[in-house]
Amino acid sequence: MAKFQKMTWYEQQKRRKSNPFFRLLDRSFRFRLLIAIMSAFILLALVHRFEVCRAKNYSPECQFADFPAVITVGNVEAFSIMAAALLYILERGQRKQKEHIEMVETINAMRESGAIRSVSRILAIEALGRDGIWFDGQDFQGTNLEGLEVPDVRLRNVNFAGAILTAADFRRADLTGANFTDADLTDADFTEADLTGANFTDADLTDADFTGANLSGVILTGAQLTGTQIESGFRP
């Protein structure tokens, strides 16, 4: 039986873009505002109908009795709160995109400043990874990313040369062409990862786990392999 995998935010956005309604919803604030106002009015009208019908013991004529009463001064506050709440929900995609931009800026700022260790950078990489954002070609050379958790993330041709990645979680990650030269990967987990063409020259792979990983074309020249779990029969 195939294992169920939750759709990432990025995958959800790709699906939304194929739908004209959601595409317009994501691009137009005015459209989102209109939808919020219309939805708030409908919800308020339904609540008003329920109250009127309950007062009339749910008689058949209650459905259209005193309908204009829904538009009253007393309902303005409730309508405003409801419309604002719905607009906030509809704005979730835009807030998420802003968060992603800020995370990318954090990663870039840490690289430009030459900071070796940064908890903010680690958290940003993990959060972007969970949302399905790719890191193809990113440069994390010489950085401290101890305990990094990026399972299922695409990290093709990423430069991790000289990086500290002890106890890192790369399960099922796409690390095609990644450069781990001289990196510290003690206790790292590469279970079922795609490591096609990855370079581990002089890397410390003590107690690292490569169970089920694709090791086609992997370079392990000079790597420390004490306690490393590699599929039997593999030859670098």
| DSSP β-bridge partners for residue 169 | 149, 189
pLDDT tens by residue, 78-105: 888 888 998 888 888 888 889 999 999 9
* CA distances to 48, 69, 74, 90, 209 from 41, in Å: 10, 12, 14, 16, 57
Is a pLDDT exceeding 70 seen at residue 73? no
Global pTM value: 0.76
Instruction: Provide mean pLDDT across the span 111-119.
Output: 89
SS3 213: coil
What would the mean pLDDT of 13-27 be, rounded to a whole number?
83
Q: Is residue 147 within a helix (H) or strand (E), and if so which, with residue range?
A: none
Per-residue model confidence as pLDDT tens digits over 26-43:
888 899 999 998 998 888
Q: What confidence tier does 54 reach under pLDDT thresholds 50, 70, 90?
A: low
Residue 4 binned pLDDT confidence (cut-offs 50, 70, 90): very low
pLDDT of 212 above 50: yes
Q: Dihedral of the CA atoms 214, 220, 226, 231 (nearest 10)?
A: 30
Kindly tell me if the per-residue pLDDT of 150 is higher than 90.
yes
The 10s digit of each residue's pLDDT in 159-209 is: 999 999 999 999 999 999 999 999 999 999 999 999 999 999 999 999 999
State the average pLDDT over residues 55-68.
Answer: 59
pLDDT score recorded for residue 191:
96
CA atoms of 126 and 153, how far apart (whole Å) = 9
